[in-house]
Amino acid sequence: MVTYTRPERLVVLTGAGMSAESGIETFRGANGLWEGHRLEEVATPEAWRRQPDLVRRFYNERRRNLMHSLPNAGHEILAHWQAKISVKIITQNVDDLHERAGSKDVLHLHGELMKSRSCGPNETTRRMKGWEMTAHDRCPDGFQIRPHIVWFGEAVPNMSTAMELVKSADCLVVIGTSLQVYPAAQLAFETGADVPIHLIDPDANSLNQMGAEAWPMKASEGLKKLDNRWFGSDQC
């Protein structure tokens, strides 16, 4: 459904394409491998138990790369919209670029790269000060820490909250996701019947299964066009 009406309760679902323009690589390369390892060897609870050093190295490298990356124009547009309408972001990404751009209401479905989680019973999380996690690092209670990432085979704790957010939206914008990773992909189909949906992705035409308005382009380009449509001369 095409709408030129400015939304009041916007929900945005972002995937890897949101951060691609910031130089953030996806977990999985074109061959499905990372340094010769299958993703299941570095992103499952079994991998953590079997070879924690490899898992730590994987996330240390991603964390180090993230610390040298900056939010892109798309992140900044979403942050600017906060001053005009309600903007709630649900992201499949584990980076902190939405927050660093200034977005305040960000729900991470798959965890946060810049946080650690205690392996103790309370599973408390803490913001990491640097990029490196070592085998000697412990939480304040003395338990070993692990990356605060939702691995394959683990529950997505924020999923129910995300569902409620989508159902409350008067507009949904889906950015840079293949809509192939469940349960997150299901969110795009949870809006009300009359709620307009915009799909921004270079492959938007082939990915569109929900009657959305397709914007087959990069995240920042699509968001600039939406910004012009909704706010026109009311630029930030």
Where are the strands (E) in the chain, listed by range?
A: 9-14, 33-34, 37-38, 86-91, 106-108, 111-118, 125-127, 145-149, 171-175, 197-200, 213-215
Provide DSSP, 148-177: EE--TTS--TTHHHHHHHHHH-SEEEEES-
Q: Which residues, in sequence order, are CB contacts of 50 under 8 Å at separation 6+?
A: none
Q: Which residues, in sequence order, are CB contacts of 118 under 8 Å at separation 6+?
A: 124, 125, 139, 141, 143, 144, 145
Catalytic residue among 75, 80, 98, 110: 110
- Alpha-carbon radius of gyration of the chain: 18
Question: Does the annotation mark 148 as catalytic?
Answer: no
Dist. CA 82–CA 105, nearest whole Å: 9
Dist. CA 174–CA 185, nearest whole Å: 10
Dist. CA 45–CA 32, nearest whole Å: 19
Nearest to 198 by CA among 218, 222, 232: 222
The set of catalytic residues is 110
